[in-house]
């Protein structure tokens, strides 16, 4: 499932970004990824949060929840007055952080730390493919991923500057028993 979500989001972002600068491509990437999650979690029992998605504002007064993309299971409870029903997040299915710096490991470790802090069934970390950061995450950092009951995934996605220079597709890995396996 997650491999399909990442690949479809990448294809869509690439198709829509021909004349955009890299920072806007990165932003588009996040929204396309969130859109793919919305397609998979299309139910009144779930909400997908991302910075440019405004349909959660009525219930939650915000667009995103600390992460680039969050997929949350929703519960409902009567308000204190009993006059209305309020939605709340009962659990989190996915937390996603995407960091396209090619060589700034500090930016990457900050986003990865955010994933470690959160409580979710699944966590996805996106880094640029074919960079020192990708190699660093998949080799040197494997031992820092907590065994906290979450499933961890890393997606290697071509950097926005390379989108029209390569036909490379994203690769998604899952961490199982301390080793990365392609999904």
Count of CB atoms situated within 10 Å of the CB of 148: 11
Ordered per-residue pLDDT tens for the chain, 183 residues = 999 999 999 999 999 998 899 889 999 999 999 999 999 999 999 999 987 765 665 755 555 668 999 999 999 999 999 999 998 999 999 999 999 998 889 999 999 999 999 999 999 999 999 889 999 999 999 999 999 999 999 999 999 999 999 889 999 999 999 999 999
pLDDT for position 51 = 79
> Which two structure tokens, joined as six digits, stand for 85?
């029903």
* Model pTM score: 0.92
**What strand order describes the sheet that includes 122-128?**
46-49, 69-78, 85-98, 122-128, 151-157, 171-176, 179-182
Contact 68, 96 (CB under 8 A): yes
Cα(120)–Cα(176) distance, integer angstroms: 17
pLDDT for position 68 = 94
CA 92 from chain centre, in angstroms, equals 12
> What is the per-residue burial (b if ≥16 Cβ within 10 Å, else e) of 23-36?
eebbbbbbbbbbbb
Query: What are the backbone dihedrals phi and psi of residue 162, each rounded to the nearest 5 degrees, phi first?
Result: -100, 0
């Amino acid at each position: 499932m997650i491999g399909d979500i990442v690949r479809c989001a990448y294809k869509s972002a690439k198709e829509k970004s021909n004349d955009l600068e890299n920072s806007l491509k990165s932003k588009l990437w996040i929204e396309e990824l969130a859109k793919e999650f919305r397609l998979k979690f299309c139910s009144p029992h779930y909400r997908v949060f991302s910075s440019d998605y405004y349909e959660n504002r009525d219930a939650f007064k915000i667009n995103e929840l600390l992460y680039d993309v969050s997929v949350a299971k929703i519960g409902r409870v009567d308000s204190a007055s009993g006059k209305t029903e309020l939605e709340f997040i009962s659990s989190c299915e996915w937390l996603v952080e995407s960091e396209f710096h090619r060589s700034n490991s500090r930016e990457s470790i900050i986003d990865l730390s955010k994933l470690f802090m959160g409580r979710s069934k699944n966590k996805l970390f996106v880094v640029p493919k074919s960079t020192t950061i990708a190699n660093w995450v998949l080799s040197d950092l494997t031992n820092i991923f907590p065994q906290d009951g979450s499933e961890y995934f890393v997606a290697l996605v071509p950097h926005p500057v390379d989108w029209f220079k390569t036909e490379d597709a994203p690769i998604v890995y899952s961490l199982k028993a301390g080793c990365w396996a392609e999904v």
